[in-house]
């Protein structure tokens, strides 16, 4: 047992079972050096969580990592190591300007789904990708038919949305992406030989065809 001073988050010292013996960064056995600590209060399923920053003592690593300690029992100051990790930074997936201008929310939703997928949340990221597709296609159509924008955004099913798409490639890819997207949010899976990588590929294709149409229109207008 080790006594630990909590530096931030109004809590005095606590007792922890031990320092982590594996570095959260390099994954090798280490005798970590204590750097900082703070009380996070109630978090996840725990009544109280304390976050502790350690530095790996291995010369080949020397990186910081975080250990989370959870309180044992409802009262008292005894905490045990719950998990060790590193702050993640996810480089966002970038899309062409035409896509970002047409649907700023598409990029945001798509990247949230991507972060979920990167963190191993494979059961929920598909729903996020599906949502991003809906924003992309509805925003694209709303820009194309501004007088019908409000109506387009309210459509609850895909059929009236698809009916408005006159480009065959955009229509084909949107429809198939939507089929796979539905598989991600429903109990019964129709396309058993397809998965999230196919859904992402179809969304990517949809962005390409939309971008191609918008760029072609732009040059059509500029060089009439």
Closer to Zn ion at the Cβ: 36 or 198?
36
Cα–Cα separations (whole angstroms), residue 203 to 1, 102, 130, 142, 148: 52, 15, 9, 18, 24
Site for Zn ion in 150-169 (CB under 5 A): none
Closer to Zn ion at the Cβ: 26 or 72?
26
What single DSSP character describes residue 122? T
Q: For Zn ion, which residue of 22, 26, 53, 205 counts as binding (CB under 5 A)?
A: 26
- What minimum distance in Å lies between the beta carbon of 22 and Zn ion? 9
Non-local (6+) Cβ contacts of 130 within 8 A are 177, 178, 181, 182, 184, 185, 199
Identify the H or E element spanning 63: none
- What minimum distance in Å lies between the beta carbon of 62 and Zn ion? 7
- Taking CB under 5 A as the rule, does residue 23 contact Zn ion? yes
Closer to Zn ion at the Cβ: 23 or 165?
23
Q: Which two tokens stand for residue 37?
A: 């600590």
> Measured between alpha carbons, how far is 192 from 214 in angstroms, rounded to an integer?
34
Binding mask 38-77 for Zn ion (x = CB under 5 A): ------------------x----x----------------
Count, residues near Zn ion per rule CB under 5 A:
5
**Residue of 102, 116, 106, 129 whose CA lies nearest to 202:** 129
Q: Which two tokens stand for residue 89?
A: 């930074």
Interface ranges with Zn ion (CB under 5 A):
23, 25-26, 56, 61
């Amino acid at each position: 047992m080790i006594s630990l001073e909590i530096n931030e988050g109004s809590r005095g010292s606590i007792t922890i079972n031990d320092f982590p013996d594996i570095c959260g960064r390099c994954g090798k056995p280490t005798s970590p050096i204590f750097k900082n600590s703070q009380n996070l209060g109630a978090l996840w399923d725990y009544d109280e969580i304390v976050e502790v920053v350690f530095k790996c003592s291995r010369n080949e690593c020397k990186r910081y990592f975080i250990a989370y300690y959870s309180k044992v029992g409802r009262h008292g100051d005894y905490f045990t190591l719950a998990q060790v990790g590193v702050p993640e930074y996810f480089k966002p997936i970038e899309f062409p300007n035409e896509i970002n201008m047409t649907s700023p929310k598409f990029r945001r939703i798509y990247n949230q789904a991507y972060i979920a997928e990167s963190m191993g949340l494979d059961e929920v990221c598909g729903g996020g990708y599906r949502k991003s597709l809906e924003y992309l296609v509805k925003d694209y159509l709303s820009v194309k038919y501004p007088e019908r924008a409000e109506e387009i955004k309210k459509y609850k099913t895909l059929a009236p949305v698809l009916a408005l798409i006159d480009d065959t490639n955009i229509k084909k890819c949107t429809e198939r992406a939507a089929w796979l997207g539905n598989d991600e949010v429903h109990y019964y899976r129709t396309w058993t030989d397809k998965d999230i990588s196919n859904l992402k590929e179809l969304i990517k294709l949809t962005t390409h065809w939309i971008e191609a149409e918008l760029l072609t229109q732009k040059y059509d207008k500029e060089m009439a």
